[in-house]
């Protein structure tokens, strides 16, 4: 239909515009609300329905969280965007962090045997025990050994000196102990200057393991170390741990060495002793791990050892893992690891460490892994992601480790943020907290909640993460149920505390 005169045009146009606008606006507002709701439901923990008490606790938690984030927007000082070494003291002042410390976090599923007890204890307690000797390699790297009498000099290290005598010679013992501590962790106030690239930080990381090994592998210290690791996590409201252990030989003062079986038995005995005095603690399990840079035949041998140990200690040994810096050199060997048949000993190829090299994730999935260590690259592999989703295979996210080892700098940009937004199965863990100057799980929960989770992650996310850690553990179904009951009781108490305080 033709409109009569030009004078009619403005009116008509206005009318059309008004219709279009209102249509457009309502369409947008419907879609926006709809999309937001949809995203809320997709998020990790989104579908959880909170109780009235939990809603109250959530309100209070989110009030604190948003206040801290708003403050950070003003000051531009936001701990998850900073390096952990510089952010740690700020995190400790956060009220959200204090709530996270109180929170029952369930289990820590991705930890390494010699990186979990605060290094301060090694310095102030272990190096002060009698018969502790020190020597320096040609590169100036320290080594320790407990022995009596003083061990003979080897060509790899300087003369062994009794640490007690060495301390008498140093000018200032406090300063010496501080320098030991600096040698035992990666912590520095200027990480960006000291650790210019991944290789530099990895090299120091390996040097630390080498240095502290002689302390931890001394039998009496080993027992105390295992006990203390449980204690530190228990104090951080973690009730169960799965520890990746190399099971290197443990030695006695006489120089006598123990084998892997002795170590597994010791883990078991010490855990039982800990549970006697901490009845709510569920226990620990060992994931026997080996260095993936080793020769294929050596790895095949360790898989056989792992299967043997699992047969002997079915309640303690949970699986097998290859650990180390995932780089190009080691790719080929992982693939070949699939040949030893895991059928006989029912050993699962668990928990593959997929840090920087994407292909590790695919290999792990092909080996029917039940969890993926780190899974840093998973969001870049839609098919692998879909597959792990379908098979309910979670990733083990260790935010601080990823940052310190230079995979990501600002934790708001951690690739797992996208996976958290779609509710991909995951757990939070702390890898080697003692190496990073952290402790337990709370620091990593803080980074995950405030940094990776962004504004929207709330109590539902936290609750889901804690429940996931129980669900994806290697415990038996009945054990998981018991664990869940104990956790739930603690959770309810935590909720009541947060809601009313
Ligand atoms: C180290 O700690 C243990 C308890 O874990 C204690 O019995 C021992 O006396 C301490 N040793 C030193 C040298 O501080
Ligand atoms: C030793 O060093 C510490 C830390 O640098 C210092 O506080 C202390 O005064 C020094 N002690 C002596 C006896 O010089
Ligand atoms: C490690 O210890 C040695 C010997 O005490 C010291 O000279 C060095 O500065 C320490 N390293 C660091 C990074 O503090
Ligand atoms: C993984 O599981 C599939 C199907 O369940 C099976 O065919 C395959 O042999 C398994 N692979 C390994 C390495 O166990």
Q: What is the pTM of this model?
A: 0.88
pLDDT of residue 352: 38
pLDDT of residue 21: 55
**Mean pLDDT confidence for 396-404:** 96
Q: To 10 degrees, what angle do helices 459-471 and 52-75 make? A: 110
70 inside domain: no
Provide the domain count of the chain: 2
The CA 114 to ligand 3 mean position distance, Å, reads 20
- Residue 378's pLDDT band (boundaries 50, 70, 90)? confident
Domain identity same for 192 and 203 = no
Counting atoms of ligand 1 from 1, which one is nearest the CA of 124?
Answer: 14
pLDDT of residue 417: 97
Domain identity same for 147 and 220 = no
| CB distance 175 to ligand 2 below 6 Å | yes
Contacts of 189 (CB under 8 A, 6+ apart): 85, 86
Tokens at 265, concatenated: 């038995």
Question: In terms of DSSP H, where are the helices of 343-439?
Answer: 359-366, 382-390, 399-404, 416-421
Domain identity same for 168 and 279 = no
The CA 438 to ligand 1 mean position distance, Å, reads 22
Q: Among 196, 216, 246, give the residue marking a domain's end.
A: 196
Counting atoms of ligand 2 from 1, which one is nearest the CA of 175?
Answer: 2
| CB distance 220 to ligand 1 below 6 Å | no
Nearest CA to ligand 1 atom 12: 125
What are the DSSP calls for 303-362, one per residue?
HHHHHHHHHH-TTTEEEEEEES---GGGHHHHHHTT-S--TTTT--B--EE-SS-THHHH
pLDDT of residue 24: 53
182 inside domain: yes
Tokens at 429, concatenated: 């863990």
Domain identity same for 410 and 484 = yes
7 inside domain: no
406 inside domain: yes
Q: pLDDT per residue over 437-455, tens digit each?
A: 999 999 999 999 999 999 9
- What ligand has the least distance to the C-alpha of 170? 3
pLDDT of residue 4: 43
- Radius of gyration, alpha carbons of the chain: 26
Distance between the two ends of the chain, CA-based, in angstroms? 70
Neighbours of 80 (CB within 10 A): 25
Domain identity same for 183 and 301 = no
**Mean pLDDT confidence for 284-290:** 90
Q: Ligand 4 pocket by C-beta < 6 Å: which residues?
A: 338, 342, 367-368
Domain identity same for 93 and 164 = no
Nearest CA to ligand 3 atom 7: 179
Q: Among 136, 166, 196, give the residue marking a domain's end.
A: 196
64 inside domain: no
Q: Among 177, 196, 215, give the residue marking a domain's end.
A: 196
Domain identity same for 110 and 175 = no
Domain identity same for 182 and 244 = no
Higher pLDDT, 7 or 305: 305
427 inside domain: yes
Domain identity same for 323 and 363 = yes
pLDDT of residue 390: 94
| CB distance 174 to ligand 2 below 6 Å | yes
**Mean pLDDT confidence for 87-112:** 97
Q: pLDDT per residue over 489-499, tens digit each?
A: 999 999 999 99
Higher pLDDT, 336 or 232: 232
pLDDT of residue 365: 73
Residue 6: pLDDT over 60: no
The CA 351 to ligand 1 mean position distance, Å, reads 35
pLDDT of residue 242: 96
Contacts of 207 (CB under 8 A, 6+ apart): 141
Domain identity same for 231 and 92 = yes
Nearest CA to ligand 3 atom 3: 179
Domain identity same for 250 and 283 = yes
The mean of the pLDDT values for the chain is 87
CATH number at residue 316: 3.20.20.140
Nearest CA to ligand 1 atom 9: 125
Distance CA 245, CA 223 (A): 14
Domain identity same for 360 and 371 = yes
Indicate if the alpha-carbon torsion angle 379, 382, 387, 392 is positive or negative: positive
Residue range(s) defining the domain that contains residue 446: 79-118+199-500
413 inside domain: yes
453 inside domain: yes
pLDDT of residue 398: 96
The CA 288 to ligand 4 mean position distance, Å, reads 20
| CB distance 182 to ligand 3 below 6 Å | yes
- Cα angle value 104/108/111 (rounded, 5°): 150
């Amino acid at each position: 239909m033709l409109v009569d005169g030009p004078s009619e045009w403005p009116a008509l146009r206005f009318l059309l515009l008004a219709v279009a606008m209102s249509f457009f606006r309502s369409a947008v507002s419907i879609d926006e609300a709809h999309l937001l709701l949809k995203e809320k439901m997709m998020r990790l923990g989104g579908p959880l329905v909170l109780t009235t008490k939990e809603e109250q606790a959530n309100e209070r938690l989110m009030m604190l969280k948003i206040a801290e984030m708003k403050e950070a927007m003003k000051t531009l000082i936001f701990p998850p965007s900073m390096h952990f070494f510089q952010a740690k003291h700020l995190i400790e002042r956060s009220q959200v962090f204090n709530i996270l410390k109180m929170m029952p976090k369930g289990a820590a599923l991705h930890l390494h045997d010699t990186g979990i007890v605060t290094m301060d204890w090694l310095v102030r307690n272990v190096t002060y025990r009698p018969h502790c000797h020190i020597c320096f390699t040609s590169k100036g790297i320290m080594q320790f050994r407990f022995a009596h009498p003083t061990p003979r000099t080897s060509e790899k290290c300087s003369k062994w000196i009794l640490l007690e005598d060495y301390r008498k010679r140093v000018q200032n013992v406090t300063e010496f102990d501080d320098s030991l501590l600096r040698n035992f962790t990666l912590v520095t106030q200027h990480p960006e200057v000291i650790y210019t690239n991944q290789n530099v930080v990895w090299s120091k990381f390996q040097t630390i393991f080498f240095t502290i090994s002689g302390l931890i592998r001394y039998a009496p210290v080993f027992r105390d170390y295992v006990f203390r690791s449980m204690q530190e996590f228990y104090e951080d409201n973690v009730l169960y741990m799965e520890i990746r252990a190399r099971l290197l030989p443990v030695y006695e003062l006489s120089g006598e060495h123990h084998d892997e079986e002795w170590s597994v038995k010791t883990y078991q005995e010490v855990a039982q002793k800990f549970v006697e005095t901490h009845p709510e603690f569920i226990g620990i399990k060992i994931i026997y791990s080996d260095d993936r840079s080793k020769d294929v035949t050596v790895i095949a041998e360790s898989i056989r050892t792992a299967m043997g140990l699992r047969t002997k200690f079915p309640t303690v040994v949970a699986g097998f893992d290859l650990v180390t810096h995932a780089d190009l050199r080691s790719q080929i060997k992982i693939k070949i690891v699939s040949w030893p048949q895991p059928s006989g000993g029912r050993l699962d190829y668990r928990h593959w460490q997929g840090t920087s090299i994407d292909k590790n994730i695919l290999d792990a999935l092909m080996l029917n892994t039940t969890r993926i260590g780190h899974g840093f690259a998973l969001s870049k592999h839609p098919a692998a992601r879909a597959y792990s989703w379908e098979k309910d295979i979670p990733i083990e996210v260790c935010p601080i480790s990823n940052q310190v080892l230079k995979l990501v700098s600002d934790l708001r940009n951690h690739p797992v943020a996208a996976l958290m937004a779609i509710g991909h199965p995951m757990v939070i863990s702390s890898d080697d907290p003692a190496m990073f100057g952290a402790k337990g799980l709370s620091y990593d929960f803080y980074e995950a909640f405030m940094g990776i989770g962004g504004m929207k992650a709330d109590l539902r996310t936290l609750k889901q993460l804690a429940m996931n850690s129980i669900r994806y553990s290697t415990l038996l179904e009945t054990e998981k149920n018991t664990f869940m009951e104990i956790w739930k009781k603690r959770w309810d108490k935590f909720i009541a505390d947060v809601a009313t305080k």
